[in-house]
Structures are given as structure tokens and as C-alpha cells.
Structure 1
Amino acid sequence: MDRLLLDAQTLDPHTLDSHTLGPHAAPAEEAALGALLRCWLREVGGPRGHVHAAGPHLTLRVAGTPVRVRVRGGIALRFDGPPEHLAEGRWRPLDLPALVALVESELGREPDGGNEEFATQVRAGREAVAAILAARARAVPPADPWLASEQSLVAGHPFHPAPKAREGDGWLDYAPETHARFAPRLLGVRADLVAQEGDTAALDAFGGAPAGYVPLPAHPWQLDLLAAELRGPLADGRLVDLGTGPRAVVPTSSVRTVYDPGTGMCLKFSLDVRITNCVRKNAWYELSGAVELTRRLTPVFERLARRFPGTRWLPEPGYRSAALGTRLLEGLGVIVRTGPWAVCGPGTTPVLAGALAAGADGVPGAVLARRAADPVAWWEAYVERVAFPVLDAFFRHGVVLEAHVQNVLVGFDAAGWPVEAVFRDLEGAKLVAGRHDLTGLPGEVAGPLSYDAARGWNRVAYCLFVNHLAEVAATVAGTADGVLRSLWAVARESLERYVANHATGLDPLAPLTGLLAGAPLPAKANLGVRWARAADRSAGYVPVPNPLGPAEGERR
């Protein structure tokens, strides 16, 4: 793939304007402005009582200055028109620099003080979207419908202040949104220095290594980032560079996980790069943790599939790296993951839930047609396929699945009906403390595998209801508020049916029955954690209105 002349991360974001960004400036600005404004409405304005209804608009006070927006889509906050702010007695269009200045002014009053990185990160996200759009305009999308959905998330997380900001140079060559394909580099690791567990046969399929060495595919971007640390091992023969691998792989929505068409497997690489809130590397304890969770969750998913036909998952049966100190052990670590085509039934097409939430791009035409023809019945099937196994995993098996829109693939039949749900990424899967015997595991591995029950439920509820179902429901409903209300009423009926038919004897169900009684939902505070420059695991939650609660006439 040709390199773009505009690499958003190598230019000073303070010098970029609409002329520099070219024809993609307007949609990039809209995406960045919308994401930051949603964060502000959800995390700050709403909880502080600074959001008020004013006719068809919401009025938000930021740093004492009114901002007026038109929104729809319930808790998904889809904008119906451009945001405006009151300046010199007139309502004027609000642009990204003005909103960033308002946010900085208000958050800067907090006891923790300011954040000199924040504005740069927000602008970098905007410029990344513009660069992606420019590259995408001249790229050819993949013929594989699942990969097309994986590579469709141009705007990124709708509730993150800088969803597409990425550190480092050259990232466009490896970006899924640009329809990139690239060949991994192949290293040889001296046999006595190989660190691996489980089934790693998929890695051997990338080519042979000299006698006494074991092959290890590596992400070219990561090798660039590790260049200084690799000089010694390459010079003294602990590692050998075997050149470019034999075939191209395709990056999926997480950027660092790729699909290998040759084996039908996925490879999860490390990348020492911040994408949204996290530096995306395979921590050493996560390498062993993936294999351990695969072993433990195999019987769980077998039971879930019997109870809820159509439930699938993508195991992570092995990893390989080089025992050359923690930095290289993590940086070169590759986790093997089963590919979705291997687990979906005949005639079933997997589609990334994130693509379904974002709109039509990357979604097969049959799915769009069926959804439009009968949105309520389509939605009922969708909720049951996705929500039932996630809830049962938590309540019956003590397993936390992160069922957000990037971790779930939905399988559709030829008519466009949702018939399967495929769950992936064991990094976010956790075991509820006290429900599983972790004796025998090293403490450094066992600790990150567990959540207490309250933390686990917050993660389940946020990922499933707020990040996933709310976003898909808003897209299905479009501009029809009546349809949106019908969708949530059907979702409530489906969850009541789960409680009646599947949850007998499960204890405690209080978190779910509390939601059905109208308790607020937890929404992850991405703006707060980014402003605090804290690790993603320290992110808190803010309460948001719960559309699953009883209708007004049913409340007592």
C-alpha cells in the first residue's frame, strides 16, 4: 500500500487547519467534535446537572458558557444537527478548538489541575480520521464480508475524547480502516530461548527457521518500536531476522490483531502504542492468562452453547515469544486465536457488532434489508443471541465477558437474521472471585484473571447494555423515536423471559432485576481517565438513564 503524504502523527497538530486536512476536514471535525461532546454530556454535564431540555434542544453549560445541541438516540446521544454555542448574544456554530478550550477551562479547575497533553490528543484524533478517510478513498475493501466489517470503524469509539489518536509514525500502513494488508516479519528464536505455552502450530505455518531456531512472526511496526532493544540479540545470534513473511495478513478492528487467510487463524501481536486508553501490548502475565482461560472457559462455552444454540467463541490456545527479558518477552509475544470462519456454522456470515452500531458501511446488504423490513423482530433475535449467554456466563458460571461492540461478532444467515453470537478477546474476560479455584497458578497470573462480583457486574452491564445494545438500538431506530422505545420494550421483555426461563435457582440475580426495575446503568468514564492520564483499568463509571426500566404507567 502506498504511503500517504499526510501522516497525521508526524505533523504538528497545532498547525493543521481545514486547508491542510483537505476535503476530509469536515467529516473528521464532525467525528471528533461529536465524540468529545458526547463524553462531556455523559460524564460531566449530566451528573453535574448542567444539561437542560429546551424545546427540541439540550442546553449544556460548559465553563459558564451555554452550548446548545440537538440529540436523539437515547443514551447513545446521536446528534440531529450541528452544536452551537452562545457568543456575543448569538448562537454560533461550535467547532472543535472552541469545545476543547471550554473543556480545558472547566476541567482545569479540578483539584488535580490541567492536562497539557489533552488538546494535542484530541486534535491528533481528528487528524487521524482525516488521514484515514484520504487513504480509504483510494483503497480496495476486502472481499471477505467479515473483514470488511472489521475495517469499517472510521470514527472509532463514540464516547472517547480521542478515539483515533495513535502514537508513533507510519501507522497508516497497518491501519484496518485504510484496508491495509501487510506481511509480518519472521524472526528465528534460538530454541533454548523460546517462551511458549499451548498450541502454537499456526505460527509454524509462517515459514521455517534454521536448525536450532524456532520461527516467530512479528509485527513490522512493533519491530521498529523495539529496534534499540533488538540490536544485541540480533548481533549475537539469540535472534535471527528471516525477512518478510510469505504472505499478507489483514488487520482487524483492534489494529494489532490480524487475520491470516493462509491458516484461517488470528494472531494478536503486541504494540507499544496507545490506542484509545491503553498501550496495546501483551503483558507477560496475559500471555499465560490467555492459555489458562482457554482451558477453563472451554467447558463453560460448551454448556452455554447447549443452553443457547448459536453461542460461539474464539479460543486462544497458545502463545510464543522470546525469553529475552520482560521488555522483549512482552513486545515479541504473539497470541494465537481461532478465526471466526472456523466456528461459524455453514451459511452463516460473521459481522462485527461495531459495524452494525456504526451504520451501513461494512454490513452485508441482506442484513440491512432484513433489519429495515422488520426492525423489532430482528432486534428481538439480536438481543437474545447476544445478551442471554453473557448474562448466563456471569450469573451461572461466574465469568465476566466483555461483550462490547469490538469483542462480539454476530452471525447472520442468508436472509439477514442474527443466528449466532461469537465472543472473543480473553484479555477482557475475567473470573468472579470466589467462584473459581485458582490455586496452583502463579499469583501474578491469577490476580489479573479475577474481578470481584461488583466490579464484574459493572463491566458486564456497561459493555453489554451501554456500549453494545444501546448503540445498535440507536442505529436500528434511526430518527424514529417511537421505534427506539419499541426496541427497548422488546429488550425488556426478552430479559424478563431470560429470568423466567433460564435463571431459576441462580443467586444472586439482584443486579439484573435491579436494572429491570429501573436502576441506572453504569457508563465508563473515558474522558475522566484520559484527563487524569490514568491507566484504563482505573476508569470509573457514571450513572446513565436506563431505557430497560418499566414504562411510566407500570411504575409504582
Structure 2
Amino acid sequence: MHRPRAADAEFAEELAAVRPDLVARYTAELPGARAAVLSRLWRGLTHEPLPWVTAREAGREGLTLRLSDGRRLHGPHPDPFATAAQVTVVRLDGVAHEDPAGLMTGLGVPHGADFAAELADSVVSLALSRADRLPLSEQWPVSDWEWEQRVVDGHPYHPNCRSRPGFSVAEQLAYGPEHRPLVRLGFVPVPAAECLVSGVWPAGMRDGDRLLLPVHPWQAEHVLKRSVTEGLDAHPLMSLRTLALADGPHVKTALSARITSSVRDISVYSIGMSATLSEFAETLAERMDGLLHFTRTLGAATADSPDLAAVLRESPQVYGDRVLPVAALATTELPRSPVWLAEFARLALTAGLRLLEFGVALEGHGQNLLVVLSESGAPLGLVYRDLADIRISPARLARHGIPVPALSGRVVTDDVRTLRRKLFGSLVAGALAGTAGSATALREALESAVRELPRTPDLAALLEEPLPAKALTLMRLSPGTPGDQWTELPNPLG
């Protein structure tokens, strides 16, 4: 389905053919991109339960990992919450490695070769993204998609922060949000009787008794391998497969490509749940006193296939003129203020913990969670989008007298550990840590924020236990293990 990623030299040759004006800047960005990916990889190697790491020994000169085959891997003391590239070289039995793909190849661990190819892809794609970025303007964006296009580096902690296997250089430039393209979505007409529809499918995407399903052009060419009818122009958002239509709504398309960790299709299961989840979220928002809103799902449809499906959602901008993903905060001056960061942490924890107490754990990372800002930049509220990965506890809902929605499958669980991992791993180890950018800044923000929070068992766990985080490197080295895998980071409040 996917053609393999070209070698670095071939990547540069392809770039020279399609965008010769970027070659010099791309070349200049490569060392920084290698350090950025290596820093993320070193974070995973030093903090995740990798079976071939038998011991970790801290010393004055850094950290040494003892490997099961007797070798030693040495690098600097890691800050698990740092977002700036801090690692430029790691030594494997004395041999210096500046390239993360080369390091992974040298380790020779199971499934390391495939992961090394993804790391190489991440480096060159990140260098391309940085080479094509525009200088940040002091004028704040007007449209929601403009905020999302400012996020150049991708996931702040994943070694595959910009890995896009299966995408040529030309396709990255044509579809990557950081390259600011306008993407022409196509339509695939499907008889309505053959589709599963949740919510209301819009009249403008119907043709008689057929539904017109929006299809990403990459999906049409590489996966569906079929022609599509003329559709709509749209601006790609951070997730690549979700795009903002000209008239406001966002459309989430099936994109059966591996981006960071997962293949981005749309399951039939999630389509079937979407309307029920959206209605349930509206009832939750009424209990949040304006702290948190949820973008409504307008309609969802699938031709009984995860490769041919779409979800229509309202734009987060219905909740304010300045609504931006938490990941985009790093492109502003706001997080550099400890006072602002503490206020934002207080808002996010108040909303997240209250909802968890009710019985709902959000996947509140920097892409799904958005913040509503005042004209002066003060955080006023939050918006959450994409309900497919939340977790819902029927027992907790019942305890609070909240009607339990008619849902089944992976979103339903009463397991306390699962609920806390979902929220803390995404909100604290993800959105807040990524915004703070370092362990010191995160600790200071949390110390200030938690003083005014209700003392619940969930808050006690956050204050006293190690911080859960997804084991992103372990997951890429465990292709036969489905679902999320976890690690524990030092508690920033410890």
C-alpha cells in the first residue's frame, strides 16, 4: 500500500525537483532535526520499560543504560518534560551517535530496523517542515486553521514527531498543514442504503439516494485506488486527516497511513458511537459552568469500511474568536509567563478533574484540547474535540446521578487506573508538560494550580504517585501488542 521512504539523499533529490528554493534551508535544518528526534528517542530509552534495558545508572557525567547483551548506552541526564532539543550525541559502547536512526540500527533490538526507518523519516520530514515555516507574526491568526498551521514540530515527545511514511516529498508539501496548502477533497458517491450514518448527513453532501463521502486525495490514490468526483477545498489541520472547510465545519477523513504511532482510518465502531457521544458531551458541558465545551458532531458516515468514512464536526471557533489548540500555545509568548502558565494549569486541571470525578476521562493532549483566550490573552475556558478516545465510567456517572449513555466497547470502563492514565497521561504529561517545556516550569505551574483544587482521590493520586505517560518508543518496538502501553515518569510535584 505504501511505497518505502527514500534514503536521505533521494529525499533531497526529490525536494530539489519539486521545491529547489527549499534545498538550502532544508540542509541547514537537518542537524537540528536530528537533535530534536534524538532527544525524543533518548527520553523514551531512559524512561520506558524496554525489555533489553536491564539497569539505569545516574552519574555526574550523565546517565548510563546497561543493555541485556552487556553493552552500555550513555547520554546526558534527561528532563522527561523538556521540549527543546537537549541531546546532540549518545554513545553506544563508546561509539558516538548523532543520528537517531543510526543509533537504533546500532542497538540491533527486535523490530528496531523498522523503527529506524521511521526515525529517519521523522528527521527529514521535520527538517522539511522547519525549512518551509514562515516567521511568526505578532498579528494573531483570524481563522482556526491558521493556528494549526503554525505548529511545525509535531508531537513534543514522540520520536516519530514528523514521520509520514508513504508520503512523497511532493505529497508532504501538498497535504501537510505546516506547509499551508489548500487541499481539494474529492467525493465518493455511495448508496445511502449501504452506509452507516450517525447524526444528520448534510443535504449538500447528498446526490439523490447516494451519500457523497469526502475523501482525502492521498487516500483516493494510495488506498482506494479509484477516481473521485470534484469535492471541496479545505485547509488541513494538525492531525493531517482533519480539514477545515471554507464555510466553517471541520471534516475528519479516513487516511490509512501511519502518522506517529497509529494508522489513521475511521473505525465503523467510532462512526456508530459518534452521535450518542456528541449528545452525551452536550449534557456534560451543562455541568461544567462554562469551563469546558465540546465541539458537536454534525454527522458521520461510513460505507462499512474504515478506509471510506468521514465525520463532520463544528469548528471550535463557535466558542470564541481566539480559540487555539494547546499545542499552538508554544508559538506565542504566553507560556513564558509563570503567572499565565499557572492560571492555564489551574483551568485545565479544574475542568479535567471535575469531569473525571463525574466519570469521564478526556484524551486531553495538545491537539484535542483547545483554549479560549480573552483579547489580553488570559485563558477563559477550554474546548475539547474528537470524542472517539475518551473513557466513560458508568459507576461514577451513576454515583453523580448522570444518565449513562447507551455505549459499549473500549470507551466504557470503571477501572480507576485506566481512567487516571487516560487523563493524566494526556493532560499533565502531554498538554501541560508540552506547554511548560521543562520539569521546572511544569512543577512551578502545578504547585500553584493545585492549591485551590478540591481534594479528591484523583487529585491525591496525581500529587503522590508517579505520572503515567504513554510508552511511545516501546509501542513502536512492539508491533504485535495492540493498544496503548504505559510508563511512569517522575512526579513533577515530588
Q: TM-score, normalised by structure 1?
A: 0.75
Shift of 1:48: 5.0
SS state at 1:272 partner: strand
Aligned to 2:21: none
> CA distance change for structure 1 residues 138 and 212 in 2, over 3 Å: closer, same or farther?
farther
Distance across 2 between alignment mates of 1:189 and 1:86: 55
Counterpart AA for 1:316 = T
Gaps of 5+ in 2: 15-25
Distance across 2 between alignment mates of 1:223 and 1:18: 26
CA contact (8 A) 1:41 1:51 kept: no
* 2:388 corresponds to 1:384: no
Distance across 2 between alignment mates of 1:448 and 1:543: 22
* 2:246 corresponds to 1:261: yes
Distance across 2 between alignment mates of 1:139 and 1:546: 34
1:107-122 residue pairs with structure 2 within 5 A?
108=109, 113-122=110-119
Aligned to 2:196: 195
Among 423, 426, 432, the alignment partner of 1:460 is 423
CA contact (8 A) 1:70 1:83 kept: no
Distance across 1 between alignment mates of 2:131 and 2:436: 30
Cα shift readout 1:484-531 (whole Å, capped 9, x = no counterpart): 2xx52452343242215xxxxxxxx33421332x32111211111110
Aligned to 1:178: 179
Among 448, 452, 455, the alignment partner of 2:410 is 448
Aligned to 2:91: 85
Aligned to 1:220: 217
1:240-251 residue pairs with structure 2 within 5 A?
241=228, 243-245=229-231, 247-251=232-236
CA contact (8 A) 1:34 1:158 kept: no
> CA distance change for structure 1 residues 84 and 449 in 2, over 3 Å: closer, same or farther?
closer
Counterpart AA for 1:492 = E
Counterpart AA for 2:422 = R
Gaps of 5+ in 1: 1-7, 232-240, 501-508, 550-556
CA contact (8 A) 1:313 1:343 kept: no
Distance across 2 between alignment mates of 1:164 and 1:81: 18
* 2:46 corresponds to 1:101: no
SS state at 2:381 partner: strand
Aligned to 1:67: 74
1:412-431 residue pairs with structure 2 within 5 A?
412-431=373-392
* 2:459 corresponds to 1:512: yes
Shift of 1:342: 1.0
Aligned to 1:541: 486
* 2:461 corresponds to 1:488: no
Over the residues paired in the alignment, what is the CA RMSD in angstroms?
3.4
Distance across 2 between alignment mates of 1:135 and 1:440: 45
For these two proteins, the number of residue pairs brought into alignment is 470
Shift of 1:405: 1.0
Counterpart AA for 2:178 = E
Shift of 1:261: 2.4
Cα shift readout 1:192-248 (whole Å, capped 9, x = no counterpart): 3343121233xx345x63x443333222222223435x58xxxxxxxxx5x222x42
Among 9, 12, 15, the alignment partner of 2:6 is 12
* 2:359 corresponds to 1:398: yes
Distance across 2 between alignment mates of 1:84 and 1:462: 27
1:309-324 residue pairs with structure 2 within 5 A?
309-322=290-303
Shift of 1:411: 1.4
Cα shift readout 1:259-282 (whole Å, capped 9, x = no counterpart): 1121x1111111111111111111
Structure 1 runs (4+) deviating above 6 angstroms are: 17-21, 137-142, 437-440
Distance across 2 between alignment mates of 1:48 and 1:392: 39
Cα shift readout 1:163-205 (whole Å, capped 9, x = no counterpart): 222232454121112112212112333343343121233xx34
> CA distance change for structure 1 residues 533 and 350 in 2, over 3 Å: closer, same or farther?
same
Counterpart AA for 1:100 = M
CA contact (8 A) 1:353 1:408 kept: yes
Counterpart AA for 1:50 = R
Distance across 2 between alignment mates of 1:422 and 1:412: 11
SS state at 1:331 partner: coil
Q: TM-score, normalised by structure 2?
A: 0.84
Shift of 1:385: 1.9
Among 264, 269, 276, the alignment partner of 2:260 is 276
Distance across 1 between alignment mates of 2:212 and 2:99: 51
Distance across 2 between alignment mates of 1:376 and 1:288: 43
Distance across 1 between alignment mates of 2:411 and 2:92: 49
Cα shift readout 1:116-135 (whole Å, capped 9, x = no counterpart): 41221211221222333445
> CA distance change for structure 1 residues 53 and 353 in 2, over 3 Å: closer, same or farther?
farther
- The share of aligned pairs that are identical, in percent, is 23
* 2:444 corresponds to 1:499: no
Among 121, 128, 132, the alignment partner of 1:131 is 128
CA contact (8 A) 2:365 2:427 kept: yes
Distance across 1 between alignment mates of 2:255 and 2:485: 25
CA contact (8 A) 1:222 1:271 kept: yes
Counterpart AA for 2:367 = Q
Distance across 2 between alignment mates of 1:260 and 1:291: 21
